[in-house]
Structure 1
Amino acid sequence: MSAPPLYRAPKSTIDPDQSSRSWLRRALPVVLAHKGLLLTSLALSLVGLLVQVQIPNVLRLGIDDALVARTAGLDRYVWWLAGLAVAQGFVNYLARRYLLRTAYEIEYDLRNIMYAHLIRMPYGFYDRVQTGELMSRSSSDIRAVQMYLAFGPSILVQCLIAVFAFALMVSIDPLLAVVAMATMPVIALMGVWMRKAIFPVSWLIQSRLAQVATVVDEAINGVRIVKAFAGEQRQVTALASAADRVRWAYRRDAFIRSRWSPTLENLPRLGLAMVLLCGGWMAIEGHASVGAIVAFNSYVLMLQPPFRMLGMMIMMGQRAAASAQRIYEVLDTGSEIAERADPVRTGIRGDIEFAGVDFAYPDGTVALRGLDLRIPAGTTVAVVGRTGSGKSTVAKLLARYYDATAGAVRLDGRDVRDYALDTLRDQVGIVPDEPFLFSVSIRDNIAFGRPDASLAEVMAAAEAAGADGFVRALPDGYDTVIGERGYTLSGGQRQRVAIARALLVNPPVLVLDDATSAVDVHVEQRIHDALRGLLHGRTTIIVAHRLSTIALADTVVLIEDGRVAAQGAHAELVAGEPRYTEVLATMQSGRDRVDSGIDQGVAA
């Protein structure tokens, strides 16, 4: 059984409706899942604005009553201003705190939604996409969407200060209020133009950032190959080329911002000049008070930050729209490996059948052509053939990493597509020829399929895989943390850890895909001796590239051009099947070269 999730699942997810909903409406369920925090933040921001717009009005009254008319004491207005300032600061602190909590909660949900989807996608998906693209969409694109979803509503609330300020200005002097707001329609129109100009550039920036991430990811993961072929300068050049394309896109973005943002930010200052001109004339003529002119100046100055933020919000919105579409491209990609509505979750014995199976990889490479093969439960079968004959594909179809293009793969008489994926993969253990290890302890790597396994069980699996000896010799034994992908271990050591990982799960069906190719003959023999007892009663498929591995099998299956060319005991095939002896000769020749390389490495 699969381990239950150990993390807090997102409260909601992205709306799957692609056709009738905008990107923002599709993301709305994620935002509404945290509406309590968000609405609290917005309400506090609104209270802060109401307090802020009162300050110029109190200042107006103080000037007109205490300084001009001298009908009231100045200290009362000073205390009012100080109290309003303290209240505004405290309310804004709370609003900011709740807003940041909302932002982090939304980001948490988006990242988990994205990761959960990626982890469910089948092999074929990863054959088509680049890791750097996925990393970019899972990091910078999510951050762009999160910023807009969390801070966009707050910016809109901040812009309400224009409404409150206008209402107070109208209550003080309607004519002067109209003069102060005369530039607002122009600002709104320019905002629309700016939004249209920024969107395509925002998409281009995110796409080219993903290209940079791809170059970096491939260079880091392939650093050993890069160094082996002295390709450092070529990789630096490739990165510089990708970075140059990003720079061009950022320059274009900066050009658009420099063209529109200063105008958006400074148009309210034109309103300030008009207020001073008209208000000054009205004050001279006795139609307005000095306090009113000072208050209007303060209100017009209050309009500048919201409109500066409005310009920023437009740019954030276009960046978020471009990023959301890139994220949705991934989330809207369905898995071709789907479960039945009511999948089978019962255990299996291990009776395997391939009936007329055809299969081609996503790139069009044909691997199997009408494969017919029956493997009774509890038997061990060695699958041999030339490179590219389709041997490893058999294991991938059995565990449903891919689905057959035609025909059927059956376990205990049932199509593998009838089983729940977790049930199927719990019971079909695969040890690949190039095992992947995580950057955790060796114990955790072996126990990956059974996190609750005891140390004694882990050690028993390692002993059976021939790994216990070298693990105990490490500085921290089973608690030794290995490097990324296990590269601090040798290839043979990685393979033995991978075998132990599969054996610990104890699946009824085990596939060894050339799982001992990187170990020397003596270690391989010890592993085989241990495996002979463990394979008894277990259905085992051994994808063999060595003569010594075939000795573990009850039956040998020769595959050529994606079909079963011959099947029988090793001695029978040697005696009566020329194609089998040719394959054996090729395998022996390749083994001799490998052994020669190992001997030279040991001598060195």
Structure 2
Amino acid sequence: MSRRAPRATIDPDVRKTWLRRALPIVKAHRGLLITSLVLSFAGLVVQVQIPNLVRIGIDKAIVDRAADLPVYVWWIVGLALLQGVINFLARLYLLRTAYELEYDLRNIVYAHLARMPFGFFDRVQSGELMSRSSSDIRAVQMYLSFGPSILVQCLIAVVAFGLMLSINVPLAIVAMATMPVIGFLGVGMRKAIFPVSWLIQARLARLATVVDENIQGVRIVKAFAAEGRQLRMLAEAADSIRWAYLQDARIRSRWNPVLDNLPRLGLALVLLVGGLMVIDGSTTVGTIVAFNSYVLMLQPPFRMLGMMIMMGQRASASARRIYEILDTPSDVVDPAAPVDAVLRGDVRFEGVRFAYPNGTPALDGLDLHVRPGETVAVVGATGSGKSTLGRLLARYYDVTGGRVVIDGHDVRTLRLAGLRDQVGIVPDEPFLFSLSLHDNIAYGRPDASRDDVIAAATAAGADDFVRDLPEGYDTVVGERGYTLSGGQRQRIAIARALLVNPPVLVLDDATSAIDVTVEQRIHRSLREQLRGRTTLIVAHRLSTIGLADRVVLVEGGRIVADGTHESLLATEPRYARVLASSEVTA
């Protein structure tokens, strides 16, 4: 099934209220929503007719005995059945509206996250993003879809008041005397509950972060027997949420009983004033019964009004948290006129300077030229900036000085998707999806045949162990691929990159977890695969360095030596020290 794009998006004007910014999405589904609201209103019109029929039946058929009682009974039954059918259809369309709104909101948020650069994810916790992409979206969706429905339900007060006025004006005014008080209390409740709603959503996000880190890092937790400490962290996060929920409960306990019981006060007033009017002969018993029904009919809408106020404040807090993400611009985007180019792989780093978003410096005026089809090993101490080269080449980050050029094109002028299709990166800690091994290898080419997948796996030295698995290439790996060893995951990642067949390939210490004997077999295959392909190899092992045509030594964010392995080993003591510190032996 193809993915349907959202019909609208959030208004980017930050000066508008959160609700006005969300209106384009609501308008995109106005057909469903309006249908639901019209049906809801029709159901209310039918509902308010029933107490009036009861009034007429009591007065004419029971008190005056001037009409047949069964006629009114059957009318009431018929109206009740009609109301049931209308309410069913109204609910159906309302739920469809709610699901459509949620679909669009989730896609808008995810599409924006997909456009954000690596630096954004470096500084934002994944649990925070998960919370804003789930519970916050649900809070906004609930208000946008059910809020208008609740308002329509509250219109029963207007319809009922109109009917009451047509029956008895003084008694109608008495029955509705509590309405202004309810409006005043509703405004006070909204102001009191907003800051608590924001606090609840923020602390839920913190709890999600703790849970996410405990699940993702469960192996580390168990390795250090830190279950108790992590449980205490979870308990502290849960306690902070409990405190916020208690504040929310205190506010509700003060305001909700008043909002719920004011209509009952109206009932008492109707009974008192109406009873005196019956004794005086200015109204009928049927009128009092009908007015009692109308006042009772007002209780659910007023209860929903209180719920809507709380929903609105939570939705307001959640929307602002979502907008914080959507209003964060990506600093790595396609240029206004992107260049589409088929790359050969002539790579140049020209005076490149770069520091990570947290301020950590990585490169300081680095210059490097890699000719098309050349394989260059990048060697250096930890933190020297080796891995940064590949990240800048694929434009995961933008340089802060200088430029990165491929075939004469500054990478910032190229279309991002086209650039990353032609620059393959195999990281030292590969990520596998909870899919079959076939689908993981074919991730960059979903339409690849099984033969192509097997050929890539064979080149990466993965075919043997994959065939030994119970379901072979159809074996579904566990989350993040942890059912495989580190070396097996690396081989799958290499196969995934080779299947795409990019003209530029970056192997970021991609065989560090592979057994030396297996690595030698992979290298024999890789020599053939790398022929004619521009390749950067971040290397520590001599066996990996042996794949390269030449070696560059990075220190302090710059290239300090460039040559073959043998020449550097003979003439550059810093190179020998780096190899020794990495426990690489000739």
TM-score interval (norm. to shorter): over 0.9
Question: Which amino acid is the alignment partner of residue 412 of structure 1?
Answer: D
In the other structure, the counterpart of 1:372 is 367
Confirm whether residue 453 of structure 1 aligns to residue 461 of structure 2.
no
The whole-number CA distance in structure 2 between the counterparts of 1:228 and 1:484 is 19
Question: Which amino acid is the alignment partner of residue 537 of structure 1?
Answer: G
In the other structure, the counterpart of 1:267 is 262
Q: Secondary structure at the match of 1:488?
A: coil
Structure 2 unaligned segments of length 5 or more: list them.
none
1:218-237 equivalences under 5 Å are 218-237=213-232
- TM-superposed CA distance for 1:210, in Å, is 0.6
- TM-superposed CA distance for 1:367, in Å, is 0.4
In the other structure, the counterpart of 2:122 is 127
Question: Which amino acid is the alignment partner of residue 372 of structure 2?
Answer: A
In the other structure, the counterpart of 1:561 is 556
In the other structure, the counterpart of 1:601 is none
Deviations along 1:195-216, one digit per CA (max 9) or x if unpaired, are: 0000000000000001110000
- TM-superposed CA distance for 1:114, in Å, is 1.0
Q: TM-score, normalised by structure 1?
A: 0.96
Confirm whether residue 98 of structure 1 aligns to residue 99 of structure 2.
no
- TM-superposed CA distance for 1:531, in Å, is 0.6
Confirm whether residue 250 of structure 1 aligns to residue 237 of structure 2.
no
Of residues 493-502 and 28-37 in structure 1, the stretch that sits farther from structure 2 once superposed is 28-37
In the other structure, the counterpart of 1:474 is 469
- TM-superposed CA distance for 1:590, in Å, is 5.8
- TM-superposed CA distance for 1:108, in Å, is 1.0
The whole-number CA distance in structure 2 between the counterparts of 1:503 and 1:458 is 9
Confirm whether residue 572 of structure 1 aligns to residue 560 of structure 2.
no
The whole-number CA distance in structure 2 between the counterparts of 1:244 and 1:503 is 49
- TM-superposed CA distance for 1:584, in Å, is 2.0
Pick aligned residue for 2:11 from 15, 24, 36:
15
In the other structure, the counterpart of 2:405 is 410
The whole-number CA distance in structure 2 between the counterparts of 1:343 and 1:515 is 31
The whole-number CA distance in structure 2 between the counterparts of 1:233 and 1:571 is 52
The whole-number CA distance in structure 2 between the counterparts of 1:459 and 1:591 is 33
Pick aligned residue for 2:167 from 172, 182, 190:
172
Deviations along 1:153-173, one digit per CA (max 9) or x if unpaired, are: 000000000001100110111
In the other structure, the counterpart of 1:599 is none
Confirm whether residue 78 of structure 1 aligns to residue 73 of structure 2.
yes
Q: Secondary structure at the match of 1:145?
A: helix
In the other structure, the counterpart of 2:393 is 398
Pick aligned residue for 1:323 from 309, 318, 321:
318
The whole-number CA distance in structure 2 between the counterparts of 1:451 and 1:323 is 36
Question: Which amino acid is the alignment partner of residue 14 of structure 1?
Answer: I
The whole-number CA distance in structure 1 between the counterparts of 2:560 and 2:36 is 71
- TM-superposed CA distance for 1:462, in Å, is 0.3
Q: Secondary structure at the match of 2:444?
A: coil
The whole-number CA distance in structure 2 between the counterparts of 1:84 and 1:376 is 83
* Percent identical: 72
The whole-number CA distance in structure 1 between the counterparts of 2:381 and 2:2 is 44
Confirm whether residue 117 of structure 1 aligns to residue 100 of structure 2.
no
Q: Secondary structure at the match of 1:87?
A: helix
In the other structure, the counterpart of 1:203 is 198
The whole-number CA distance in structure 2 between the counterparts of 1:421 and 1:338 is 7
The whole-number CA distance in structure 2 between the counterparts of 1:575 and 1:124 is 40
In the other structure, the counterpart of 1:333 is 328
The whole-number CA distance in structure 2 between the counterparts of 1:585 and 1:239 is 43
The whole-number CA distance in structure 1 between the counterparts of 2:427 and 2:212 is 23
Contact 2:115 2:333 in 1 (8 A): no
The whole-number CA distance in structure 2 between the counterparts of 1:292 and 1:141 is 47
Contact 2:542 2:584 in 1 (8 A): no
The whole-number CA distance in structure 2 between the counterparts of 1:531 and 1:509 is 14
1:510-549 equivalences under 5 Å are 510-549=505-544
Question: Which amino acid is the alignment partner of residue 263 of structure 1?
Answer: V
Structure 1 unaligned segments of length 5 or more: list them.
593-604
Confirm whether residue 359 of structure 1 aligns to residue 347 of structure 2.
no
Deviations along 1:195-252, one digit per CA (max 9) or x if unpaired, are: 0000000000000001110000000000000000000011111000000000000000
Q: Secondary structure at the match of 1:448?
A: helix
Pick aligned residue for 1:42 from 34, 37, 44:
37
The whole-number CA distance in structure 2 between the counterparts of 1:110 and 1:261 is 31
Pick aligned residue for 2:102 from 99, 107, 111:
107
In the other structure, the counterpart of 2:57 is 62
Confirm whether residue 89 of structure 1 aligns to residue 84 of structure 2.
yes
Confirm whether residue 550 of structure 1 aligns to residue 549 of structure 2.
no
The whole-number CA distance in structure 2 between the counterparts of 1:37 and 1:591 is 70
Confirm whether residue 439 of structure 1 aligns to residue 439 of structure 2.
no
Q: Secondary structure at the match of 1:447?
A: helix
Q: TM-score, normalised by structure 2?
A: 0.99
The number of residues matched between the two structures is 586
Contact 2:579 2:585 in 1 (8 A): no
The whole-number CA distance in structure 1 between the counterparts of 2:200 and 2:579 is 54
The whole-number CA distance in structure 1 between the counterparts of 2:261 and 2:79 is 28
Pick aligned residue for 2:491 from 496, 506, 526:
496
Question: Which amino acid is the alignment partner of residue 203 of structure 1?
Answer: W
The whole-number CA distance in structure 2 between the counterparts of 1:451 and 1:319 is 41
